[in-house]
Structure 1
Amino acid sequence: MGMAIEDRNRIAKRAAAEIEDGMVVNLGIGIPSLVLNHLQNKNNIMFHSENGIIGMGPSPKKGEEDENLCNAAGYPVTIRKGASYFDSTIAFAIARREKLDVTILGALEVSETGDIANWIVPGNRVPGMGGAMELAKKAKKVIVVMSHFDKYGNSKIVPSCSLPLTASSCVDLIITNVGVFHVTKNGLILTDIFLPYTVNEAKKQTTAKFSVSPTLAIIE
């Protein structure tokens, strides 16, 4: 099931709130790429891309794209002061040596123990896994942003993943169009709910089990 652009941006805005000045951050394809457009009063963040950039800025205005500047998905980007370029081996080395403070990824499924499946659906052709495995296992904090439901209306937050894993026990935070779930040793905790959803609706529409924070935030 597709999401409205308003929901996608609301998810991206909530993910942006997890980023602090001074961080080095990697953004995945899709909703993660929208995070760059929702940073407020944060001017000292360096965004990393596997194709060889640190220092990406917001998406360019229409007509102001530079055909030589793109992210790992091939979409146009801008750059911030202090940006640098390098080849993909350096880009991957940055990820593998745990130099990334945060990675924000999309996913096909996330389990209640923090496993992530986001690189392949069996039987479908894909160009490759890209940096998914390195990012999931080596970033200091892993945030997943995604629709709460697959195209059939089923929950993408599940007790255990049915799709091939990208990495196990690595996700720290899940943000969907329903709410925000923290992954802890004691299970998932719902800390934010997006209106018009309610906690009861979240429970009915989430296959995985979760508890509710006593300080639950309600986000319009």
Structure 2
Amino acid sequence: MAALAARDIPPGAYVNLGIGQPTTVADHLVEDCGVVLHTESGMLNMGRAAIADEIDPDLINAGKIPVTELPEASYFHQADSFAMMRDGHLDVCVLGAFQVSTGGDLANWSTGGADAIPAGGGAMDLAIGAKQVFVMMTLFGKDGAAKLVRHCTYPLTAVSCVDRVYTDLAVFDICLGDVTVRETFGITVDELEQRVGLTLSGNQADRGAL
């Protein structure tokens, strides 16, 4: 999923990677692609995850994972970082999710359960501030329920904000309530429709066995 998302980020884009799976997108960006990674903690031009002697405890991403810095990296106050997020300076953000609706609504900060630990972070700011919102998630939860749904049942992070969803079984585009299957992995569009219980748009050729 991370490699696919990295592939689709336009050269030269300013991008924020959310906590969890999205942080691994940094490890799949092509060198010299010009993508500038932004962190909530106050850094521009973040690199991939740091290893061995590269680790500097003062250089971390949103998930507190040590990262490298690229040439011309810059640092600033966290308040300035959030201002960048809210004011539309980011081209793309990549976030995790508990649910995404067919209308592009995002639920990723709490399941609403009595024992749930809310984790809002900067997701709300990113979801409304970035020009494009990509989501990375497994298509089904541990209970087998689909995470791509007609209407979110978990507390919303933002409405009508998600443009694309990367999952382990397919990549989806969401536009004005229409969900289009961009590509599938070991499953057909018809099988996807049956499993998620939604009407999906897709290449007719992809509705047969792959």
TM-score between the two structures when normalised by the length of structure 1: 0.88
Instruction: Look up the match of 1:108.
Output: 98
* Equivalent residues of 2:54, 2:68 under 8 A apart: no
Letter in 2 for 1:14: L
Instruction: Look up the match of 1:136.
Output: 127
Deviation at 1:50, TM superposition (A): 0.7
* 2:75 pairs with 1:85: yes
2:54 to 49, 58, 64: 64
Instruction: Look up the match of 2:36.
Output: 46
Aligned counterparts, 1:125-164, within 5 A? 125-126=116-117, 128-164=119-155
Aligned equivalents of 2:204, 2:133: Cα separation in 1: 24
Deviation at 1:189, TM superposition (A): 0.5
Aligned counterparts, 1:1-220, within 5 A? 11-122=1-112, 123-126=114-117, 128-185=119-176, 187-194=178-185, 196-214=186-204
Instruction: Look up the match of 1:7.
Output: none
Aligned equivalents of 2:184, 2:133: Cα separation in 1: 20
Aligned equivalents of 1:130, 1:186: Cα separation in 2: 27
Aligned equivalents of 1:126, 1:85: Cα separation in 2: 30
* Equivalent residues of 1:113, 1:169 under 8 A apart: yes
* Equivalent residues of 1:159, 1:209 under 8 A apart: no
Deviation at 1:65, TM superposition (A): 1.2
Deviation at 1:200, TM superposition (A): 2.8
Deviation at 1:128, TM superposition (A): 4.0
**CA displacement 1:157-184 (0-9 Å, x = unmatched):** 0000000000000100011001111111
Deviation at 1:42, TM superposition (A): 4.0
RMSD (Å), alpha carbons: 1.7
Q: Secondary structure at the match of 1:160?
A: coil
* Equivalent residues of 2:87, 2:129 under 8 A apart: yes
Which runs of no fewer than 5 residues in structure 2 stay unpaired?
none
Report the CA distance shift for 1:200/1:214 in structure 2 as closer, same or farther (over 3 A).
closer
Q: Secondary structure at the match of 1:58?
A: strand
* Equivalent residues of 1:103, 1:142 under 8 A apart: yes
**CA displacement 1:1-43 (0-9 Å, x = unmatched):** xxxxxxxxxx011101111221100000111111111112543
Q: Secondary structure at the match of 1:142?
A: strand
* Equivalent residues of 1:157, 1:207 under 8 A apart: no
Deviation at 1:215, TM superposition (A): 7.5
Instruction: Look up the match of 1:3.
Output: none
* Equivalent residues of 2:163, 2:173 under 8 A apart: yes
